[in-house]
Amino acid sequence: MSAVAFHIGPVPVHGRAILAPMDGFSDLPFRLICRELGSAMSYTEFVNVDELAATRKRDAKCWRKLVFDLSERPMTFQIYGHDVDRMIAVAAKLQDQDPAPDIVDINMGCYVRNIAERGAGSGMLRFPDRIARLFAGLSSQLHLPVTGKMRLGWDPSSRVHVEVARILEDNGARLIAVHGRTKSQGYGGQADWDAIAEVRQAVKVPVIGNGDVKTVADIARLRAHTGCDAVMIGRAAIGNPWIFAGKDREQVTFDEKVALMRRHLQLNLDFYGQRFGLVLFRKHAARYIHGLPDVERLRVPLLTARTVAAFDEAVGAWAFAAQA
Ligand SMILES: Cc1cc2nc3c(=O)[nH]c(=O)nc-3n(C[C@H](O)[C@H](O)[C@H](O)COP(=O)(O)O)c2cc1C
């Protein structure tokens, strides 16, 4: 294992490139793949505390999102909500799960309207007092480290990243992840890496920089630009988890792609069952094969393969035709 890069409270992290939490993508199968290739820690997709509070059924979708493999440690459960007391109560229960996570993270970045407008996700950035109360409560009631992932603010005229970063640190957050956009930007425009540097300078706890890392070289560029302790990669890891192994998309061989897709499909079938495992694999497969020659011929048979054997057949027929 590589040397310790930084600590989140007492939890050591052995690397500086980390798969970002992504709803619908950073599930157990994809996280395992990214971890094997070098992502240094795991975040679940964000999970709604209201749903967690409403059911204890472990096969409910919200609870399934919290299933992880012990090889993933350090493991972070990311939650969101708008009711501070409920968030604290749910987080306190999560730390007593078996197996327990290593870290609990609060989502302060989601820009989806019905979440943000209700004061959850990036909507929290409009209420710094609420953030202070939440983190004060979490850090007094949890023995696990608590962290936050935020955007820069609600819109360009109300950027609060430095203020909120200080509030987080003052109220016990042990790490801050910053996506360099405001809520109103969605994923448009460019992430503001200068703002990430401002957060890095404003606090002592570790800072993860995030936004627009597209290549292996970008990882080093973002770190050099901001001084951040680690870099979080979201969209660029979909279809190219090898970014964590230091390889850009065009450096990955066809055989490596096929071997990884087979494994990803099998992990999906194991975790979600035949039907959903396949359906949920399709969006990844479409991204893995992006840019391959004569990809149209491969797309339909690949995206409809019901088993790994059928997947192999589709790839074999395509490779045969490509060589002919
Ligand atoms: C499909 C999708 C789902 C996302 N879901 C989450 C989430 O559940 N929690 C979260 O904190 N951020 C979420 N994000 C934001 C990412 O973690 C990240 O901040 C953003 O994509 C910017 O990083 P990138 O430029 O590397 O993609 C999501 C992003 C995408 C594209």
What would the pLDDT profile of 83-141 be if each residue is shown by its tens digit?
999 999 999 999 999 999 999 999 999 999 999 999 999 999 999 999 999 999 999 99
DSSP state letter for 98: S
Would the pTM of this model clear 0.95, i.e. be above it? yes
Outline where DSSP puts E strands in 187-291: 207-210, 230-233
CA separation for the pair 214, 18 (Å, rounded): 13
Q: Where are the domains of the chain?
A: 6-249, 253-323
Which CATH entry fits the domain spanning 253-323: 1.10.405, 2.50.20, 1.10.1200, 2.40.50? 1.10.1200
The rounded distance, in Å, linking the Cα atoms of 307 and 88 is 42
110 is annotated as an active-site residue: yes
Nearest CA to ligand 1 atom 6: 22
Report DSSP letters for 130-145, one per residue. Answer: HHHHHHHHHHHH-SS-
Kind and range of the H or E run holding 314:
helix 308-323
Average pLDDT, the chain: 95
| Number of neighbouring beta carbons within 10 Å of residue 137 | 20
Q: Is residue 301's pLDDT more than 90? A: no
Mapped onto helix, strand or coil, the DSSP state of residue 122 is: helix
CATH of range 6-249; options 3.20.20.70, 1.10.10.10, 2.40.110.10, 1.10.760.10: 3.20.20.70
Least confident of 28-37, 117-126, 292-301: 292-301
CA atoms of 321 and 269, how far apart (whole Å): 28
Residues in the chain: 324
| Main-chain dihedrals φ then ψ at residue 196, nearest 5 degrees | -65, -40
Query: Choosing from 34, 62, 110, 228, which is the catalytic residue?
Result: 110
pLDDT at 207: 98
Closest residue by CA, ligand 1 atom 19:
179
Residue 204: in which H helix or E strand, if any? Answer: none
Tell how far the Cα of 321 is from the centroid of ligand 1, in angstroms: 37
Strand, helix or coil for residue 202: helix
- The percent of residues above 70 in pLDDT, for the chain, comes to 99
CB-based contacts of 28: which residues, under 8 Å, 6+ apart? Answer: 67, 68, 69, 267, 271
CB 267 within 8 A of CB 33: yes
CA of 7 to the centre of ligand 1 (A): 23
Place of tokens 């490139």: 17
Given ligand 1 and candidates 18, 19, 23, which is best to mutate, with the most ligand atoms within 8 Å of its CB? 23
Give percent of the chain with pLDDT exceeding 90.
85
Strand (E) positions, the chain? 6-8, 11-13, 17-19, 42-43, 47-48, 75-80, 103-108, 146-150, 176-179, 207-210, 230-233
pLDDT at 323 over 70: no
| Mean pLDDT of the region 42-67 | 95
Q: What is the pLDDT of residues 213-244, one digit of tens each?
A: 999 999 999 999 999 999 999 999 999 999 99
Q: Which atom of ligand 1 is nearest to the CA of 213?
A: 26
Distance CA 36, CA 31 (A): 9
Distance 20 CA to ligand 1 centre (A): 6
**Predicted local distance difference test score (pLDDT) of residue 324:** 60
Task: Report the pLDDT value the prediction gives residue 296, as an integer from 0 to 100.
Answer: 84
Reply yes or no on whether the pLDDT at 2 is more than 90. Answer: no
Spacing, Cα 21 to ligand 1 middle (Å): 6
Q: Which residue's CA is minimally distant from atom 4 of ligand 1?
A: 22
Structure tokens at 157: 């005229």
